[in-house]
Structure 1
Amino acid sequence: MAASIGFRPTRDDERILKEAARPGESTSETLRRALRLLDHERWLMQFRADAERLANENLNDEADAW
C-alpha cells in the first residue's frame, strides 16, 4: 500500500529544497534523495557503534564454528 504524505514547507524548508535540488530534479525527487541519505546516515551511525563495541574483539579467542 503506497502512502501519500502531505507536506507544507516552511520558508526555511523551501530554501533548503531549492539549495539541495539538482538541476531538473523535482521536489519529490529531492525529498526521496534526502530520505535515502538520512537512512544511510542512520546505517553509518549503527555501523560505527558496532565497530566501537567490537573494537577489542579477538576472533582468535573464539572456538571454531566447524
Structure 2
Amino acid sequence: MAGKTIGFRPNTEDLRILKDAAAEGASTTVAIRHALRLLDDEKWLDQARRDATRLREENLNEEPSAW
C-alpha cells in the first residue's frame, strides 16, 4: 500500500489538535500516524477486555496438562 494517499478535510477540532501537535514538533503526517496507532491499540485493548470478561470464570488449574 506504499505510495497511496488519503484525503482529509480537517474540521475545527482536528485543526486545533494538529496545531497542538505542530507546537510539539510533530508534522501532520506524524500526528495522524500516531492517532491511527492509538486507535489500533484501543481496539486491541477493547478485545482484551471483552475476552477477560468472558473468561473471568475460567480456571486453568482445572484443565488437563498439555504435557
- Which interval holds the TM-score relative to the shorter structure? 0.7 to 0.9
Deviation digits for residues 7-64 of structure 1 (CA, Å, limit 9, x no counterpart): 1212232123223x15111011001001111111111101111111111101111111
Question: Quick one: higher RCO (CA 8 Å, sep 6+), 1 or 2?
Answer: 1
- Residue ranges of structure 1 left out of the alignment (5+ in a row): none
Q: Say how many residue pairs are matched.
A: 65
Match status 1:46 vs 2:47: yes
- Residue ranges of structure 2 left out of the alignment (5+ in a row): none
Map 1:1-66; keep pairs closer than 5 Å: 1-2=1-2, 3-19=4-20, 21=21, 23-66=24-67
TM-score, normalised to structure 1, is: 0.84
Aligned-pair identity (%): 60
Alignment RMSD: 1.4
